[in-house]
Amino acid sequence: MKFNTKTIHGGQKHEETTGSVMPPVFLTSTFAQSSPGQHKGYAYARGTNPTRTALEANFAALENGTHAFAFASGMAAIDAVLRLLKPGDEVIAGDDLYGGTYRMFTQLFQKYGLEFSFVNMNKVANVTNAITSKTKLVWIETPTNPLMKIANIHKITTNVKEENSEILIAVDNTFATPYLQKPLDLGADIVMHSATKYLGGHSDLVMGALMVKEETLAKEIHFIQFAAGAIAGPMDSFLALRGVKTLHVRMQRHCENGLKVARFLETHSKVGKVYYPGLKSHESYEIAKKQMTAFGGMVSFKLKDESKEATFSFLESTKLFTLAESLGGVESLVNHPVTMSHGSIPEEERLKIGITESLIRLSVGIEDVEDLLADLEQALNA
C-alpha cells in the first residue's frame, strides 16, 4: 500500500461479528475465558483491547514498523523508552527539545540514575563525539520544538551504530509525522509520537505512540506498558484511528499553509527571524529537503522588536490563531514557548540555544491561508 491508502486501510480489517467498517469501541475491562487461560486473544484490557489493537496496527503500518503501542500520553511513551535503561546508563539528546521531554530527563530520570548529555545535532560529529562506554540511547527530535532544527537521521544512525551497534536510536517524529519522514526506514530503532498532535489531528484527545521493527524490542516495550499501565483508553483509540484516516489530506494543507506563512513572515518588515526548514535561508534546508517529503505546518519566528511588550501585543492580538498550548490540530494556534511549552526549562538553558522571550511558535492549521495571513498582518500591526 502507498501511504495515503495506509492511513485508511493499514492494519485494518472489518469487525468479524457484524462486519462493521470501523472497529467498535470496546468499553470493557475484562474478557470471558472458556477455561483458565483459554480466551479469544484478550484477557484484561490493560494488556490489550480490540479498539487499541486496531489503532496500534494502523500506527505500525504508517511508520513501516511491525509493532506499535498506544500510550495515555506522549510523555508516557517517552517514559517507557527510558525504562528500557538502567541506572548509570547515558542518553545523548538534542539541545533543543520539547520542554516536557527535557523536564522528564532532568527532573525525573536523572534522580533514578540515568545520565544525560545535550548536544547540537545539526552536526553529526557532535553526537558521535559525545558517545561513551555508558551511552545506551540517542534521543533525536527533528524538526525540533521550537527552533525547527534538523538532525540528519540516517547519518546519525549510521555513525552511531558504527561506534556501537547496541546503542538504541529513538526519534520524536511528532512535528514531521510519518507523512513527511519515516525514521525506521532511515535506521532508527524506535519512533515516538505525541499522537495528541497531528496523528489525532483534532485537539480532542491526549495520546502517545511508539513504533518499532525489531521483535525483541517490541516485547520489552509491551512488557513495560503492561506492567506500568500507561495505556490509551478505547474511546481515545477510536478517536485517534478516525483522525489518522485524514492525516494525509490534512498534512497536505498544513504543509502548503506552513510554507506560505513562513515566506510571508520572512519578508515582513516587523519580523526579525523565521525558523522553518522549508525556507532556503534555513541552515539545514538541504538535509530537510532530502529527508522530508515536505516541511510541515510548524513555524517559529521572532519580531524585530524583541521586547516583551511587542511580543505580548502580537500574542494577544491574533484572532484566528488561538493562543494555546499544543499543536497539530486542524485549527491554527500560537504559542509562547517561554511561558508555555518550554517554561519548565531553566532560563539560562533556554537562552543558550536562543529560546528567548520574543520567540513565537505557530501551529499553522488548514484554514484558508489568505485568512491566516490577514490575521498575522493585523496582529503584527496591532
Domains of the chain: 3-242 (3.40.640.10), 247-381 (3.90.1150.10)
Distance between CA 134 and CA 120 in Å, rounded? 20
Which residue spans within the chain are E strands per DSSP? 67-71, 90-94, 115-119, 135-141, 168-172, 190-194, 208-212, 271-275, 298-303, 322-323, 333-335, 359-363
Out of 40-44, 202-206, 284-288, least confident range: 40-44
Residue type, 157: T
Question: Can you tell me the distance from the alpha carbon of 174 to that of 40, in angstroms, rounded to the nearest whole number?
Answer: 34
Question: Which residues, 6 or more positions from 288, have their beta carbon under 8 angstroms from its beta carbon?
Answer: 143, 150, 277, 278, 282, 295
| pLDDT interval class at 360 (50, 70, 90) | very high
Query: In terms of Cα–Cα distance, which of 194, 182, 193 is closest to 157?
Result: 182
Helix (H, G, I), strand (E, B) or coil at 173: coil
Q: Are 84 and 243 in contact (CB under 8 A)?
A: no
Is pLDDT of 16 > 90?
Answer: no
Per-residue pLDDT at 17 exceeds 90: no
The answer, yes or no, to whether residue 364 has pLDDT greater than 90, is: yes
Over range 73-89, report the average pLDDT.
98
Confidence class for position 137, pLDDT limits 50, 70, 90: very high
The catalytic residues are 46, 98, 172, 197
Question: What are 250-262's pLDDT values in tens digits?
Answer: 999 999 999 999 9
pLDDT at 36 over 90: yes
CA distance 65 to 57: 9
Pairing state of beta strands 135-141 and 90-94? parallel
pLDDT band (50, 70, 90) for residue 312: very high
Whether residue 21 contacts residue 8, with contact meaning beta carbons closer than 8 Å, is answered with: no
User: Could you report the per-residue pLDDT of 219-237, keeping only the tens digit for each?
Assistant: 999 999 999 999 999 999 9
Q: Are 291 and 152 in contact (CB under 8 A)?
A: yes
pLDDT of residue 354: 93
Phi and psi at 18, nearest 5°, equal -115, -15
Q: Tell me the percentage of the chain whose pLDDT exceeds 90.
A: 98
Nearest in space to 148 (alpha carbons), one of 257, 256, 262, 63: 262
* 232/215 Cα distance (integer angstroms): 21
pLDDT above 70 as % of the chain: 100
Tell me the pLDDT band of 211, cut-offs 50, 70 and 90: very high
In this model, does residue 357 exceed pLDDT 90? yes
What is the Cα 75 distance to its own chain's centre?
A: 10
Of 52-56, 125-129, 241-245, 345-349, which gets the smallest average pLDDT?
345-349
Q: What is the DSSP string of 101-154?
A: HHHIIIIIITTTT-EEEEE-TTSHHHHHTT--TTEEEEEEESS-TTT-----HH
- Supply the pLDDT for residue 308: 95
Amino acid found at 293: T
Q: Give the pLDDT of residue 127.
A: 98
pLDDT value of residue 134: 98
Question: What mean pLDDT value characterizes the chain?
Answer: 97
Among 180, 133, 182, 187, smallest CA distance to 158 is for 187
Dmax over CA atoms of the chain, in Å, equals 73
Q: Which three cell numbers stand for residue 78?
A: 517517552
Residue-level pLDDT at 126: 98
N-terminal to C-terminal alpha carbon distance within the chain: 49
